[in-house]
Amino acid sequence: MSDMLNSDTVGSEFHILGDSAYPLEVRLMVPFRDNGHLSPVQKTFNYMLSASRCSIERAFGLLKGKFRRLKYLDINNIAFAADIIITACTLHNYILQHGGDDDDMSIDDSVQDYLFSASDCTAVTDKVASRKRNEIAAQL
């Protein structure tokens, strides 16, 4: 995963949101570990990250409900994954704008499959990623 995330596919100003199962990387933001001593800024960051991830998971659930084939895709190329997501969103919006009925969309409760697997990080990457996460948290 590090190779995919550190490529030019995900620019340094962007990042993917992950949960605590993933390692912190420059292009993969994860919550601060809650050891009972989080600062208010860190708690706010964790809350905002969680809320954003929930919105994204609901959106993916809606797309998977509408386009059931998405449930069975095994994608290893991050650029291809982004193209598929953008295409599904475009098709969804087209259907809505042209009289399609959105009532048949159901939320997929099993939004647990991720496009990437966790990998190890180097010490340098850890420092850069930590600095980036701290800067984002400070802006909230």
| pLDDT value of residue 8 | 54
| pLDDT value of residue 125 | 55
Task: List the pLDDT tens digit at each of the 140 positions of the chain.
Answer: 445 555 555 566 788 888 899 999 888 899 999 989 999 999 999 999 999 998 888 888 888 888 888 888 777 777 788 888 888 889 888 888 887 665 544 333 333 333 223 333 344 456 777 888 888 888 88
Supply the pTM of this predicted model.
0.59
Rounded Cα–Cα distance for residues 78 and 80 (Å): 5
| pLDDT value of residue 42 | 93
How distant, in Å, are the alpha carbons of 12, 34, 53 from that of 25?
A: 11, 18, 17
CB burial of residue 21 (10 Å; 0-12, 13-18, 19+): exposed
Contact yes or no for 59/52 (Cβ under 8 A) = no
DSSP state of 6: T
| Pairing state between β 16-17 and 28-29 | parallel
* Rg from Cα positions in the chain: 17
The CA-based angle 107-110-115, given to 5 degrees, is: 105
Domain ranges of the chain: 2-139
| pLDDT value of residue 30 | 93
Rounded Cα–Cα distance for residues 117 and 125 (Å): 17
